[in-house]
């Protein structure tokens, strides 16, 4: 009687799978070390802080206080920028359309337009968007909120499944903030929004790319503060007692999304966010240069691998 013999590759398959699983365990332990280091920074912070970080290659996440709600500060300007491009794409206006700068629109805080004369200058909607993101200009932001409509921004966020990100007030409106009309988000939904921009899911690929082009403009912010030169698309936010930064960090071969948010702050929130950003960067840069077994080889040999 002739016995059927299994091919050697089939006999080896269980051993290969065990080996892969063992290496996945190593990587999971490395990720747990990162989470523990970030937790130390968050625990030492004198206020409250939450973080969400997503590996855009593997889909793995590091989540700490990710579902807590925090004020967004100027990070809410990202959804405003998305809505501006969405309506322009729908033909409601052109980004080259001009708007006069009026005294009634001018508010304090960051930016330069509050120093312009009354009805002496006009700027295109596209230029207002650049000022809103690169200089965090609050007057430009309020002009764009009036252009696109607060309700429309929130409706688009609803359509994207981001119901915890809310635009409730214009910039520098402390009376609205005091009565509870605050712009808010959770770290988890902030990271999801950044991931959608990365994957071209924020309305469309073309719209996502247009928004990312503006978010790539250099700016003073915690995410890049301690990092070596690397491509970043982000928007920080700061108001009294709260600080945050949402971004994409394009580490070659290992891009990731990151959102760190805080409130009830005393001192050092931006420094804490910058330290968390550096820890995340070091982790993903290490993965980018490593094989599945943790050996380091030239980056160009690893391109395209999971």
Phi first, then psi: give them for residue 258, nearest 5 degrees. -145, 140
Does residue 4 sit within a domain?
no
Segment holding 50, helix H or strand E:
strand 48-55
Burial 158-178, CB ≥16 within 10 A → b, else e: eebebebbbbbbbbbbeeebe
Structure tokens at 274: 């910058």
* Look-up of token digits 């499944």: 161
Nearest to 56 by CA among 256, 289, 234: 256
Q: How far apart are CA 284 and CA 48, in angstroms?
A: 25
Does residue 187 sit within a domain?
yes
Read off the pLDDT band of 292 (50, 70, 90): confident
Does residue 2 sit within a domain?
no
Does residue 134 sit within a domain?
yes
Domain count, the chain: 1
* Look-up of token digits 């709260």: 242
Burial 68-97, CB ≥16 within 10 A → b, else e: bbbbbbbbbbbbbbbbbbbbbeeeeeebee
- Can you say whether the dihedral through the CA atoms of 81, 82, 87, 90 is positive or negative? positive
111-150 pLDDT tens trace: 899 899 999 999 999 999 999 999 999 999 999 999 999 9
Does residue 300 sit within a domain?
no
Phi first, then psi: give them for residue 48, nearest 5 degrees. -110, 145
Higher pLDDT, 177 or 69: 69
Does residue 35 sit within a domain?
no
Alpha helices, DSSP H, located in 45-160: 77-89, 125-134, 138-148, 150-159
Q: What is the pTM of this model?
A: 0.90
Q: Distance between the two ends of the chain, CA-based, in angstroms? A: 46
64-104 pLDDT tens trace: 999 999 999 999 999 999 999 999 999 999 999 999 999 99
16-55 pLDDT tens trace: 344 444 458 898 999 999 999 999 999 999 999 999 999 9
CATH number at residue 83: 3.40.710.10
pLDDT value for 212: 98
Segment holding 208, helix H or strand E:
helix 205-215
Domain carrying residue 273: 45-290
Does residue 6 sit within a domain?
no
Any idea how long the chain is? 306
Exposed/middle/buried for residue 43 (C-beta within 10 Å: 0-12, 13-18, 19+): exposed
Helix 77-89 to helix 138-148 angle (10° resolution) is 40
């Amino acid at each position: 009687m002739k016995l059927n013999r299994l091919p050697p590759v089939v006999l080896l398959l269980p051993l290969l799978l065990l080996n892969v699983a063992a290496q996945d365990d190593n990587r999971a332990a490395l990720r747990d070390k990162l989470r523990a280091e970030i937790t130390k920074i968050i625990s030492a912070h004198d206020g409250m802080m939450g973080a969400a970080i997503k590996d855009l290659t593997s889909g793995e996440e590091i989540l700490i206080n990710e579902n807590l709600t925090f004020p967004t500060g100027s990070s809410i300007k990202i959804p405003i920028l998305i809505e501006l491009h969405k309506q322009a794409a729908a033909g409601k206006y052109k980004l080259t359309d001009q708007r006069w700068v009026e005294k009634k629109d001018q508010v304090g805080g960051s930016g330069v337009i509050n120093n312009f004369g009354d009805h002496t200058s006009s700027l295109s909607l596209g230029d207002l968007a650049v000022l809103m993101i690169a200089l965090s200009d609050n007057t430009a932001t309020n002009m764009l909120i009036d252009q696109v409509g607060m309700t429309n921004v929130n409706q688009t966020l609803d359509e994207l499944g981001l119901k915890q990100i809310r635009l409730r007030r214009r910039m520098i409106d402390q009376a609205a903030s005091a009565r509870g009309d605050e712009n808010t988000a959770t770290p988890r939904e902030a990271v999801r929004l950044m991931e959608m921009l990365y994957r071209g899911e924020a309305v469309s690929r073309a719209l996502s790319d247009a928004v990312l082009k503006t978010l790539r403009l250099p700016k003073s912010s915690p995410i890049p503060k301690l990092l070596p030169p690397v491509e970043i698309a982000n928007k920080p936010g700061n108001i009294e007692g709260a600080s945050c930064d949402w971004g994409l960090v394009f580490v070659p071969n290992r891009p990731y999304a990151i959102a760190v948010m805080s409130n009830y702050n005393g001192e050092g929130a931006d420094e804490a966010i910058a330290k968390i950003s550096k820890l995340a960067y070091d982790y993903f840069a290490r993965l980018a240069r490593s094989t599945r077994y943790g050996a380091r080889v030239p980056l160009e040999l690893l391109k395209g691998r999971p």
